[in-house]
Structure 1
Amino acid sequence: MIALSANIKKYRLEKEMTQTQLASVFNVSEQAVSRWENGNTYPDIQLLPAIADYFGITIDELMGMENYKDERETDKIMEEVRENDRKGLVSKNIKILQEAVVKYPKNYVLLNYLIHELNFEYSDDEEKLRKNHEKAIEIADRILNECTDQVIRNAANFEKINSLELLGRTEEAIALAEKLPIISMSYEFKLKDLYTGERLKLHCKEALMTYAQNMSGIIERMSDLGFQDESLSIEDRISICKKAIEILNVVYEGEYGNGAWILANKHRYIAAMTVLIGKTEETLYHLEEAAKYAVMHDTLPEKQTLHSTLLSGYEVRKDTLFKNHAFTECGELFDRLKQERYDIVRDTERFKAVLDKITPYVEGV
């Protein structure tokens, strides 16, 4: 009966009673109470109102129905939130989650997701974003002080680091980040030694995608796209960015599924640099590649099976993609192509072909 057995024991212990004492209250044997709590038998249905009244709770609470109803409602909330994330409706999610955590203040999953959305929101209003990140830190500290679930605590700590970074409190972020586990202590790394058979294959494929994307991100970071490292030339940055693509190609072999947006961005970054040094042919090539992957992303099927050597048979799903904006990848590329830097190739047939390729997937054009 849902959670009746566990609840009888829970409320008995809260009253600091023995099974013998509870048995005496309801004129049953100690063995009967023991069987109730072990789930071997249940109290007579006519006895339930008296047990609930004795503990000062409702029958629904005694049966665990309240928790069951709460779980169903929070599951519906999370389902709505995830659907909004796929549409880029982060601001809407923040309102939903803020209301939800008032009703469920101890639901640390909802609280953690609220932190994520506060950090994830995209806005031109810097003051709004600052308040978001400060609120995220406040909630993260609350989770870290109250919650005992280590997985949830790890997620809260990670989001706190993100919040500190976004607020420009870099040294505080570094101090926390330096305490995070090293890669060889991560579950992705260790489970490869523990799993076997199909479980191992699936885990390795997922770990490879995670590591390839993160390694590509690290290499991209080394390319200093913000142009802060004066020791790097544009040619150096381009060469490094190309290595990031090579890493991804080792794993994906050109078939990127729901990671196609990553390639679209990397080729766009390279095109934005090659055009600065007059390499028009190379610029056009990377714009064509950016368009190819932008369209690939914007036309993803609901499900897709990958066929690369390392990921063969792995199924990717469109509904696992989240974003913090409403525009498409083609829309992002379309807007970037308006920049003056591309004037030297704007009148070429290849540039016009890029625009023709992405325009059908650009909203409002």
Structure 2
Amino acid sequence: MKILIGENIKRLRKIKNITQEQLAEAMNVSCPAVSKWERNESYPDITLLTPLALYFGVSIDELMGHDEAKIQKDIDGLLDEFYGLLDKDQGAATELIRKARKDYPNDYLIMHIYMWYTAGNFANNDPRVLLSHKDEFLDICRRIEEGCKDIHIRLGALNMRAKIFHAEEKTDEALKIYYENFPNWWETACQKTEQLYSKDTPEFMHWVKRNSYELVTFAGDKLVKSLFFDGSIEYTDRINRIERYGDLMEKIYGETKEVFFLILARSIYGRLTNDLRVRGGKDEDVQRIEEKLISSKKKLSEIAKLYPIVDFFSKESYC
């Protein structure tokens, strides 16, 4: 079993926002000793395990990483439950992610999801909500930026900083964060991965399909927004037009069996369902479109069992 005590000491020290010198003083050891622990060049003396665990507020098993796999399994199960509740019971989803934040206060992914779910997701954020949670959100951002290695979660923290700047009417500062830290689509890892392979290889086909699925998801999202928020079109006409586009994509999929069109339909139904809920759409419209969304998701779930690339894309959270 791999011992992760050095890595955990470094992580916990940063979470506690203390220096190696401060930890060394608290444990009555030299600063170079702490440095060696964190570089996995040596381990703390066994007599220091209990003081270290007490100092960081964790168990000895957690300090040494012995139950890391179990903790991660529990977190994965909790997040699966959370995502499953989002379309069914918003209140239960809210309660679950808040509890997760308390139960796993040092997990960066839970911090990230909790922060954005509290903020109302990634778009259309209410400035009042952002400012009322400003101190809490900025503390989460700081912890992520100081300790998290996952680039997607780190970018999420930068995004939140930009959102808060904009809420404070400091939009120039927000734009500076975006232009200095976020690439355009052509510079993303997924696009570069596609370009890595020769066009006659299975790897190229995998990534060109995966990228087409992502782009069509974006396209569906933008199409719905461009119509839903167009005040020059009467409400009923907007909803009917968007719904027809989704239905048409479903029909084309039925005729061609090309997954591209089913993913586009799912994106259209998903975006429209969300906007109807958030923007006070009619109950009958929400129910009808949501049923179509659930149907398209079920079809994709069945397809994913047969085609690895669809399964791969469906399971991605980022990229």
Given the two structures, how large is their TM-score scaled by the length of structure 1? 0.50
1:146 aligns with 2:143: yes
| Match for residue 183 of structure 1 among 171, 182, 185 | 185
5+ residue gaps in structure 1?
22-32, 122-128, 269-289, 323-365
> 1:170-195 deviations in whole A, cap 9, x for unaligned?
95797365554222222222222235
- Secondary structure, counterpart of 1:181 in structure 2: coil
**Aligned-residue offset at 1:135:** 5.4
Change in 2 beyond 3 A, CA 1:195/1:298: closer
Change in 2 beyond 3 A, CA 1:217/1:208: same
Choose between structure 1 and 2: higher helix proportion: 2
5+ residue gaps in structure 2?
14-19, 274-288
Give the Cα separation in 2 of the matches to 1:145 and 1:192. 33
Map 1:40-55 → 2, pairs under 5 A: 49-50=46-47, 52=49
> 1:283-326 deviations in whole A, cap 9, x for unaligned?
xxxxxxx899668427536320599xxxx87334898699xxxx
Q: Does structure 1 conserve the Cα–Cα contact (< 8 Å) formed by 2:3 and 2:65?
A: yes
**Aligned-residue offset at 1:114:** 1.1
> 1:39-69 deviations in whole A, cap 9, x for unaligned?
9xx99xxxx8535357576643553236555
Q: Does structure 2 conserve the Cα–Cα contact (< 8 Å) formed by 1:304 and 1:315?
A: yes
- Secondary structure, counterpart of 1:314 in structure 2: helix
Map 1:278-297 → 2, pairs under 5 A: 296-297=295-296
Q: Which moved more, 1:202-211 or 1:259-268?
A: 259-268
- Secondary structure, counterpart of 1:147 in structure 2: helix
> Which residue number corresponds to residue 104 of structure 1?
104
Q: Which moved more, 1:139-148 or 1:7-16?
A: 7-16
Q: Does structure 1 conserve the Cα–Cα contact (< 8 Å) formed by 2:162 and 2:173?
A: yes
Give the Cα separation in 2 of the matches to 1:252 and 1:164. 46
Give the Cα separation in 1 of the matches to 2:315 and 2:109. 18
Give the Cα separation in 1 of the matches to 2:129 and 2:74. 26
> Which residue number corresponds to residue 61 of structure 2?
60
Query: Counterpart amino acid of 2:84?
Result: E
> Which residue number corresponds to residue 343 of structure 1?
none
> 1:127-171 deviations in whole A, cap 9, x for unaligned?
xx7765545655442233232344212123445667899x89795
> Which residue number corresponds to residue 116 of structure 1?
116
Q: Does structure 2 conserve the Cα–Cα contact (< 8 Å) formed by 1:90 and 1:120?
A: no
**Aligned-residue offset at 1:202:** 2.3
Give the Cα separation in 1 of the matches to 2:225 and 2:63. 55
> 1:241-297 deviations in whole A, cap 9, x for unaligned?
97xx78xx79985764454334558999xxxxxxxxxxxxxxxxxxxxx89966842
> 1:196-217 deviations in whole A, cap 9, x for unaligned?
6444332221211111232344
Give the Cα separation in 1 of the matches to 2:209 and 2:53. 52
Give the Cα separation in 2 of the matches to 1:185 and 1:305. 28
| Match for residue 212 of structure 2 among 208, 212, 233 | 208
Q: Does structure 2 conserve the Cα–Cα contact (< 8 Å) formed by 1:300 and 1:318?
A: no
Change in 2 beyond 3 A, CA 1:304/1:63: same
Give the Cα separation in 1 of the matches to 2:49 and 2:101. 28
Give the Cα separation in 1 of the matches to 2:4 and 2:271. 56
Query: Counterpart amino acid of 2:230?
Result: G
Give the Cα separation in 2 of the matches to 1:267 and 1:61. 44
Query: Counterpart amino acid of 2:190?
Result: E
Q: Which moved more, 1:99-108 or 1:8-17?
A: 8-17
Change in 2 beyond 3 A, CA 1:314/1:256: farther
Query: Counterpart amino acid of 2:205?
Result: K
> Which residue number corresponds to residue 260 of structure 1?
265
- Secondary structure, counterpart of 2:303 in structure 1: strand
Change in 2 beyond 3 A, CA 1:135/1:114: farther
Give the Cα separation in 2 of the matches to 1:49 and 1:211. 53
Give the Cα separation in 2 of the matches to 1:133 and 1:8. 31
**Aligned-residue offset at 1:113:** 0.6
Give the Cα separation in 2 of the matches to 1:160 and 1:226. 29
> Which residue number corresponds to residue 78 of structure 1?
79
Alignment length, in residue pairs? Answer: 262
Share of identical aligned residues, percent? 11
Larger radius of gyration: 1
> Which residue number corresponds to residue 3 of structure 1?
3
Change in 2 beyond 3 A, CA 1:223/1:59: closer
Change in 2 beyond 3 A, CA 1:51/1:135: same
